[in-house]
Amino acid sequence: MIDGCGRTIDHLRLSLTDHCNLACRYCAPEDTPVLGGMIEANFAFEIVRWLSLQHGIRHIRLTGGEPLLHPRLIPLIERLAGLDTLHEVTLTTNGQMLAQKAAALRDAGLNRINISLDTLDPRRFAHLTRGGDLARTLAGIEAAVAVGLTPVRINVVVQRGLNDHELNDIAQWSLARGCTVRFLEVMPIGPLAHVIDEHLVSAAEMLAQLNERFWLRPIPQSLGQPAVDYAAVGVGLRGVIGIIAPTTRPFCSRCRRLRVTSRGQLVTCLHDDRYYDLSRWWNGQTLDVEGADATLSSAINEKPASGAFVQLLCMQALGG
């Protein structure tokens, strides 16, 4: 699938629900709670099947909200894993319920997992996530490694004044467990766009801090890869540390992504407020492929060359 700017689109982020058991401060607004919709598993499957068979989508990441809250997650992954047009089915989670589910996810055919972890301090974790339990996420990470959902990737959103002194400790903790770790610049999304004014830490600053503890050598980037990954060597440790800089070094010209929200809306850019409704082509049993093709065609042709920063939704509702 080639968009209006000539970019190949082969990655899909599919939000299974906009409900979440945490409410991270940069992701979920405090005053306007997200309502908590769940996409029907059959609808989700038919969207992926259509996009992969007919439009060349090869990489699926299940997200949310919190995807582990979806009651049909395991059977959905089993069905997705059976689509031989897909190269991989991956998932992003906050890890709060992962310890109990890691083995079932692996058995269902999940290829890889990303786990969000912004701090190693239990009190700070509870503060940043508005109530999360650090021990549960750490246990989830250990379980994912133990069952072989590898390489397990730890995602850290770096925020000035909150966790920006923890980069080396989080990297060390992750590498010691055989995980890769990626540090992300906080992005200005929808109603929470203002968080960057106070909390943005640039990739350059992150790198300077990581260089104090690790020897870092850049690894050549693969297509569609927004992160700059480094082969990292520290005392008694080696692994991969990545940095993603969507705010100070946007990678729009290399964007290969589409999103589908848990309400069945196509979103072509995190920073654009046009949503293309696929749910009108779903009758509860079948997807009207002709109608969906027409909606997709408009979306793809109108995918912006770069972000206009007019998003209305928060990340939790969009699917991060």
Nearest distance from residue 189's CB to ligand SAM, in Å? 4
Place of tokens 């079948």: 286
Cβ-based nearer residue to ligand SAM, 186 or 300? 186
Nearest distance from residue 181's CB to ligand SAM, in Å? 12
Are 196 and 257 in contact, with CB atoms under 8 Å apart? no
Cβ-based nearer residue to ligand SAM, 94 or 268? 94
Cβ-based nearer residue to ligand SAM, 116 or 180? 116
Element housing 116 (H / E) = strand 112-116
Nearest distance from residue 135's CB to ligand SAM, in Å? 16
SS3 238: strand
Nearest distance from residue 282's CB to ligand SAM, in Å? 23
- Select the residue whose beta carbon is closest to ligand SAM and give its number: 320
Cβ-based nearer residue to ligand SAM, 118 or 287? 118
- Tokens representing 138 are 């750490």
Nearest distance from residue 190's CB to ligand SAM, in Å? 9
Cβ-based nearer residue to ligand SAM, 52 or 262? 262
* Residue of 58, 123, 130, 60 lying closest to 94 (CA atoms): 130
- Tokens representing 63 are 């997200």
Are 164 and 202 in contact, with CB atoms under 8 Å apart? no
- Give the footprint of ligand SAM on this chain (CB under 6 A): 20, 26-27, 63-64, 66, 92-94, 116, 155, 157, 184, 186-187, 189, 315-316, 320
Query: Could you give the angle at the alpha carbon of 12 between the alpha carbons of 68 and 260, nearest 5°?
Result: 70
Nearest distance from residue 45's CB to ligand SAM, in Å? 20
Cβ-based nearer residue to ligand SAM, 27 or 77? 27
* φ, ψ at 192 (rounded to 5°): -105, 20
Which amino acid, residue 104?
Answer: A
Distance CA 215, CA 233 (A): 5
Nearest distance from residue 116's CB to ligand SAM, in Å? 4
Cβ-based nearer residue to ligand SAM, 261 or 268? 261
Nearest distance from residue 69's CB to ligand SAM, in Å? 9
Are 144 and 98 in contact, with CB atoms under 8 Å apart? yes
Q: Rounded to 10 degrees, what is the CA torsion of 22, 28, 34, 40? A: -60
Cβ-based nearer residue to ligand SAM, 137 or 292? 137
Radius of gyration of the chain (CA): 19
Distance CA 24, CA 117 (A): 11
